[in-house]
A and B are shown apart, each in its own frame.
Chain A
Amino acid sequence: DQQVKQNSPSLSVQEGRISILNCDYTNSMFDYFLWYKKYPAEGPTFLISISSIKDKNEDGRFTVFLNKSAKHLSLHIVPSQPGDSAVYFCAAAVNEKLTFGTGTRLTIIP
């Protein structure tokens, strides 16, 4: 039972454009959501998070949107840069425990 789903295994975006990564969840008890970025042979790196009481959190080029009624969150990266090419994982937390999605591989095309 996959409680956190990232339905797009891969995404290609032109440099300078907006990258939008999506994540859906099924457990309404999740109260905190995070995005991690992962390069090959490295562990996930924390990017940005959002509490369930908010619907938007912004940090530089990264913005996370949360739609609780749809049980959907998204990560927007703008403008996209070549260094953003990586695998992105969304994670959802309840009682401080994280459940991860399967990841989306983002490729930024120069």
Chain B
Amino acid sequence: GAVVSQHPSRVICKSGTSVKIECRSLDFQATTMFWYRQFPKQSLMLMATSNEGSKATYEQGVEKDKFLINHASLTLSTLTVTSAHPEDSSFYICSARSWDRGRNQPQHFGDGTRLSIL
């Protein structure tokens, strides 16, 4: 159980393009979804937290107009990188967690999206 699907796994596109990444919880309802970014040889860095039906909470230094997050249902969150530039090239990964047995359950991760902007 606790499967999180992330799509696409890899994107290569031209500078100025907007890219949408989907994150789905396949077998549970995700009350909260998280978006992380990872640069080479660094740890996962939290970008934003989104709860279903409400606006995402962004971490300091993350541009909300650049990284649009939508969490319209309990099983789907999307991250759109708007007008992407080469410096946005990175590994983006989502996670999802449910509320069960009276507490938040551990986050379960998708397989990530490698974004390359030419």
Contact = CB atoms under 8 A, between A and B. Distances in A.
Contact of B46 (A49, A97, A103): A97
A102 B106 CA distance: 19
Nearest to A2: B43
A99 B111 CA distance: 18
Contacts, number: 44
Nearest to B107: A98
Main secondary structure of the interface of A (DSSP, over half): strand
Contacts of A43: 4, 6, 93, 95, 109-112
Interface string B89-106: 000010100000000101
A49 B43 contact: no
A103 B41 CA distance: 9
A10 to B, nearest CB: 13
A7 interface: no
Contacts of A49: 106
A46 B106 contact: yes
